[in-house]
Structure 1
Amino acid sequence: MLTMQNLVILDFGSNSTRLSINEVQANVSTFKEVFRTKEMTRMAEGMGQEKNRQLQPQAIERTLDAVRKFKEIYSQYENVKIKAIATAAVRAASNAQEFIDQVKQITGATIEVLSGDTEAYYDYVGVTHYLNLKDAIIVDMGGGSFEVILMKDGKDEHLISIQHGAVSLSEKFNAHDKILAKDLFEFQNYLQALFDEKLSWLKDGHDLPLVLLGGATRTVARKKIGTLHTEEKSIHELKIMRDEIFTIYQNWLAMNKQERKQDLGSEASRADIIIGGLTPIIEIMRRCHCPYVTFSESGVREGLLFEMLETNSN
């Protein structure tokens, strides 16, 4: 009987593809992450806004290249079990099965395509295991979708996945470079109508803190602690007050893409999607009068792991 297993998580997001390797002890419902890395693969790039959305050949090949690199890494570990998950881009793609089959040929693993609600639920599980907050709004800003959870007394009172993210919103509202006033106005109006229709329950989240997950939001945290041009530090539980995050957003709005690249340093690859990713967050903060944001480095993957371990222990 194996006493320890290395559980490999392959996470196919809309903007990045991630690898985490987690040491799991037999009969113990905890894990220890021993390795993580990511590649910016932009799976959602060029999918468009139409119903018949497709993963583009270049995006598929970028992602498969990342998988091959990841396989070289995790193959060095013993007692490996692979779990592959995918979110918004694969979920929305009419040609998803072609991609899933190609990943299986390389890894032997069949991708589990998470529903939007399942993704939001795992975000909630991941956050609650690591943050000491009972009441909050949780937002996971991904490349192809963003998830919103209203947590009251530690429970997921409401949750939803919105099928637009930093990549797709940047394409939709021409936010890659310096956004024009008319495009920003259209963007804001679109979000207000969307929130009125889909997130009417946000009225119950007034004055609650906002917990942020996702790459675009982590860029804000790294700007705050000054690690965009230096070595990376943990951003977990970092707090940024409302006015300061508004100032950071306002400064990036005034820049063109090249200026944002220079300002973002190690996060320069997000310069073309940072406005698309942050604008919904700013609008939620305004709507709910959130006093501050805090950051969680635990989300979907950690929530999935906790759920798997709990299921196995039972």
Structure 2
Amino acid sequence: MTRVAAVDCGTNSIRLLVADVDPATGQLVDLDRRMTIVRLGQGVDKTGRLAPEALERTFAACRDYAAIIKELGAERLRFVATSASRDASNRDDFVRGVLDILGVEPEVVTGDEEAELSFTGATRELTGRDDLARPYLVVDIGGGSTEFVVGDDAVRAGRSVNIGCVRMTERHLVRDGKVTDPPTPDQITAMRADIEAALDLAEETVPLREARTLVGLAGSVTTVSAIAQNLPAYDAEAIHHSRVSYDRVREITESLLRSTHAERAAIPSMHPGRVDVIGAGALVLLSIMERVGASEVVVSEHDILDGIAFKAAEEGK
């Protein structure tokens, strides 16, 4: 097995996985898996630039991760950056900072590459399961974008569209610099229309309705699962491969969109960094389920981060 470190830097969070990986068997053994909310994409949709304070939050997390990577002795490190850094005019500042701290340049992947990594991470361990029909539709609801990938053992088609939970919140739920609590019906209607337009765009290249199993990834989806299970705290083991029905997703989404900041923050499994954006993320998930006619979503804790780790191990052979 090869010991690798994988970093996934998205619009809302930066995550680290150090693992022993055998690409031939699909075995991946976690040594350390963690997430830090840094909100790198703060204001990018409006300004087109990464904010100085967002960069510093991200670099602080990178310094912490560098110490862990060194301590655990990873043989290879791969750093992938997604939506926010693709969109930013000053992304060179981001690249230089990461290189100085971690010694590698972040790979600012395309939406298609991001989709393939997400699919690999989410489905490698599902191979051979009789209870999950194929093809899979893997949806990775991030902060700035959502990736859609349809495939069996390999990717058939993928598309990335700009309907992440942070982007939707900043675009539709902010007034006078503050998130509306709770959002108004007009705000929700406008956000829903934006999401539906993006789904139309995704469906131009990805046969969403051909999927037999919907697999949902990332923090918005896992948080909905935690709420559905009434977990007393976030529990990755209980969340991984849980199934949440359409009716339950709809109930939770409607509740989140009716609630105030204080009410959402009081949910035991809610990460503080998701309090303001979870309503938008849940609405993206609900809209996808309605579009494809999914009766449930299979929730995966394994996603693009695991895909990055598999690819790092394969490249190291």
Q: Does TM-score exceed 0.5, indicating one fold?
A: yes
Q: CA RMSD in A?
A: 2.4
Report if aligned partners of 2:17, 2:309 keep a CA contact under 8 Å in 1. Answer: no
Range with bigger deviation, 224-233 or 102-111? 224-233
Change in Cα spacing, 1:65 to 1:309, as seen in structure 2 (3 Å) is closer
* Kept after mapping to 1: 8 A contact 2:23/2:314: no
Tell whether the 8 Å contact from 2:40 to 2:84 is kept in structure 1 after alignment.
Answer: yes
Alignment match of 2:182 (pick from 158, 178, 181): 178
TM-superposed CA distance for 1:206, in Å, is 5.8
Deviations 1:29-75 (A, max 9, x none): 7442211111110111121346xx11101100001111111122222
The 1:206–1:288 alpha-carbon spacing in structure 2 relative to 1, beyond 3 Å, is farther
Partner of 1:234, secondary structure, is helix
Select the residue among 212, 216, 221 that pairs with 2:220: 216
Matched-pair contact (CA < 8 Å) for 1:264–1:271: no
Q: CA deviation at 1:216?
A: 1.1
Deviation of residue 155 (structure 1)?
4.2
The residue identity in structure 1 corresponding to 2:196 is Q
Q: Out of 93, 99, 105, which is 2:94 matched to?
A: 99
The number of residue pairs the alignment matches comes to: 307
Distance in 2 of aligned mates of 1:308 and 1:47: 29
Equivalent pair of 1:117/1:159 in contact (CA under 8 Å): yes
Tell me the distance in 2 between the aligned counterparts of 1:27 and 1:120: 21
1:256 aligned onto 2:291: no
The CA distance in 2 between the partners of 1:179 and 1:145, in whole Å, is 21
Which amino acid counterpart does residue 122 of structure 1 have in structure 2? L
Q: Which residue of 1 aligns with 2:105?
A: 110
CA distance in structure 2 between the aligned counterparts of 1:261 and 1:252, rounded to whole angstroms: 11
Q: CA deviation at 1:215?
A: 0.8
Contact 2:13 2:40 in 1 (8 A): yes
Aligned-partner residue type, residue 120 of structure 1:
A
Structure 2 letter corresponding to 1:118: E
Report matched runs for 1:186-201 at 5 Å.
Answer: 186-200=190-204
Q: Give the structure 2 partner of residue 301 of structure 1.
A: 305
1:119-138 deviation per Cα after TM superposition (whole angstroms, max 9, x unaligned): 00111112221223422321
The one of 1, 5, 10 aligned to 1:8: 5
Q: Percent identity?
A: 27
Matches within 5 A, 1:115-126: 115-126=110-121
Match status 1:21 vs 2:18 = yes
Instruction: Please give the secondary structure, in 2, of the residue aligned with 1:125.
Output: helix
CA distance in 2, matches of 1:28, 1:285: 32
What is the CA–CA distance in structure 2 between the aligned matches of 1:309 and 1:229, rounded to whole Å? 33
Taking a change above 3 Å as real, the CA distance of residues 24 and 283 of structure 1, as seen in their structure-2 partners, is closer
| Distance in structure 1 (CA, Å) of the matches to 2:240 and 2:24 | 28
Letter in 2 for 1:156: V
Give CA-to-partner distance per residue, 1:158-178, whole Å, 9 cap, x none: 210012311111000116431
Structure 1 residues 41, 206: CA separation in 2 closer, same or farther (over 3 Å shift)?
same
Within 5 Å, give how 1:67-146 maps onto structure 2. Answer: 67-78=62-73, 80-131=75-126, 132=129, 133=132, 134-146=134-146
1:99 & 1:29 partners in 2: Cα distance?
Answer: 32
- Equivalent positions of 1:51-62 (< 5 A) are 53-62=48-57
Change (3 A) 1:45 1:230: closer
Paired letter, 1:164: I
Where does structure 1 lack aligned partners over 5 or more consecutive residues? Answer: none
SS at match of 2:237: coil
Q: 2:147 corresponds to which letter in structure 1? A: E
Is 1:269 aligned with 2:296?
A: no
Task: Give the equivalent residue in structure 2 for 1:233.
Answer: 237
Task: Tell me, yes or no, if structure 1 residue 279 matches structure 2 residue 283.
Answer: yes
Q: Which runs of 5+ in 2 are unaligned?
A: none
Return 154-163 or 253-262, whichever deviates more: 154-163
Distance 2:76 2:314 in 1: 17
For the structure 1 residues 165 and 112, does the alpha-carbon distance in structure 2 shift closer, same or farther, using more than 3 Å as the test? same
- Residue type at the aligned position of 1:76: E
Q: Which amino acid aligns with 2:167?
A: S
Task: Using CA pairs under 8 Å that are at least 6 residues apart, name the structure with larger relative contact order, 1 or 2.
Answer: 2
Cα distance, 1:204–1:273 mapped onto 2, change above 3 Å: closer
